[in-house]
Chains A and B, each alone.
Chain A
Amino acid sequence: MTVNGNKPKFAMYWAASCGGCEIAVLNIHEKILDVDANFDVVFWPVAMDAKYKDVEAMEDGSILLTLFNGGIRNDENEHIAKLLRRKSKILVAFGSCANEGCIPGLANLSDSREIVSTAFNTISTDNPKQIYPMISYDVPEGEIHIPKILPVLKTLDQVVDVDYYMPGCPPESHQIAAVIDLVVQVLQGKAELPPKGTVIGAGNSTVCDECKRARNIKMVKSFKRIWGVEVDPELCLLEQGIPCNGIATRSGCNARCPTAGAQCIGCYGPAEGVIDYGARLISAFASVIDSNDPEEIDRILDGIVDPTGQFYRFNLAGSLLKAGKPAWEKA
C-alpha cells in the first residue's frame, strides 16, 4: 500500500458479522487494486494492523469513505460506529447485518442473558467451573475490560446517521465492483454521488422481477419444505408451494437462489417501499393460499414451520418490532 497524503482515505470495519462481507470485498479480484490505487487505506482490521487510537487521533471527517459491516451487538461496536461516523464523510451500511441485523439479529428473539448462558453453559460447552466473562477484571497490570453485550442488536442506522445502504448477505461482488467504480468516477469528477439515503449496489425492484421461472396463477394448497419435494426446474417455486421470499426482497443478486433451484430467503432485504419485510410476506403468502375455510387455512399454514424465521431471518432487527418479546422486555 502506498502512503500518499493526497489520496482520499478509506476505512472498513466489522462489528457483529461473520466476515463474509470482507471476503466479498476481496472477491472483487483485481478491482481491489483500484481501491489501493485511489485510496489510502487507513483502517481495516481484517486486512491491516491499525489501532482504535489511530482512528481517534484522525481529524473529524478526514476519512472519505467507510464501509461498515456488522450489526451493533455490544458497546464496543456502538463506540466504533460513533467514532467512524465522526471521522467519515461517507458512511455506508455495508451488508445485511449493518442494514437490518441479519443472522446476528435473530438473537433479538432471546434475552441476552440467555444468549450468554447458552454460549458458556450448555451441554456442548466444556465449562466445569462455570466461568463467565466479566465486563471488567483486576489483574496486576491494572483493570481490563471486555465489551458489554447490549440487550438487543441494533442496525447501524439505529445508532448513527448513515449516508448509503448497501444490502446483501454478503453484497454480490459485481455490485461491490460497480460501487467502487462509481466512487472512483466521482473522485475523477466524472460522476456524481446519489442522494443521501440511497440504496446502492442493488436494484429497485424485487427478486421475482429478475427471476426467470415461469409464473401462472398461484393457488397453494400446501406449503412444503424444499428438501421434501421434487422441484420443477422451470416453474415458480412459490407456485409449487415452496415458501420463496422473492416477492418482498430487493433485486440485485440476479435471482441467484431460485436460478440455482433454491428458494430466496431474503438476503437482499426489503424491496423498495417495503416498510416491514415480514408484513409484506405475510400479505403475499396469505394471498396465494387457495382456501377460505379457517380450519383448512390453518392446516395449510402448518406447512410454514417457522413463520418468524421465514419472514425475519435477515430483517428482525430492522423490522418494526425489532425484536421478540423476551429480548425487548429487557431493552
Chain B
Amino acid sequence: MNNNETFDPVIIGFTCNWCSYRAADLAGTSRTKYPHNIRLIRLMCSGRLDPTFVFKALANGADGVMITGCHPGECHYLEQNYKALRRFHLLRRTLKGLGVEPERVKLVWASAAEGKKFATEVGSFVEEIRALGPLNWYRSNGRSPDDSGPTSHEPAPDLKEVPA
C-alpha cells in the first residue's frame, strides 16, 4: 500500500525539561546524530503529558508519538512520571480499540546524561514507525480537527506549552 522506503515519518516527541530535553540537548552538543523525523516539544515534566496532546498530534498528521521522561524514582515532581506511565498504558489500550497500532506511541525514560540513549531510541522508533507505514489521519478536505468546526463547545485553549 505504501512505499516504506520513501516514507519519511513525522514523529512528535514530548520531552521533560529536567531530563530527556537535556538528553536531546546533550546529543546535539556532542554531535550524536539522530534522524530528523522527530519534532520535540518540551514540557516541564512527563506528568504534564495530557493524552489530548497525543490524539491531537495523531489527528493532525503525526505518524508516531514519543513520550519521554525521567527514570522511575527520578521525577523532579516526585511521582508524576508514574502517572505518565499509567496514562501511557491506558492510552495504548484505547488506541488499540480504535484500530490504531498502539506501537505508534512509545514511552522512553532518559536522564540528562543519556544523550546517546536518547538518540538511539529516536533512531529505532523512526524505524518502527517506518515499518508500520504512514498513519494518514489528517484530512485537508474540511474534516481535519482544525477545519471542521469546534469539537468541543468552546474555543480550544492554546495547547502549547509555555517554555520554561
Contact = CB atoms under 8 A, between A and B. Distances in A.
Interface of A: 99, 109, 154, 157-158, 161-162, 165, 197-199, 270, 272-276, 278-280, 282-283, 285-287, 289, 291-292, 294, 297-298, 301, 304, 306-309, 311, 318-326, 328-329, 331
B149 A301 contact: no
A219 to B, nearest CB: 13
Interface of B: 50-52, 54-56, 58-59, 72, 79, 82-83, 85-87, 89-91, 93-94, 96-100, 136-137, 139, 143, 145, 148-154, 156-157, 159
A297 B85 contact: yes
A216 B58 CA distance: 36
Contacts of A280: 52
A130 B52 CA distance: 44
Given A276-B51, A279-B51, A286-B83, A165 B148 contact: no
Contacts of A278: 51, 55, 94
Contacts of A283: 50-51, 87
A292 B79 contact: yes
B98 A197 contact: no
Contact of B90 (A272, A273, A285, A291): A285
Contacts of A99: 153
Contacts of B52: 275-276, 279-280, 320
B143 A282 contact: no
A270 B98 contact: no
Contacts of B100: 321, 324-325
B99 A282 contact: no
Contacts of B85: 292, 294, 297
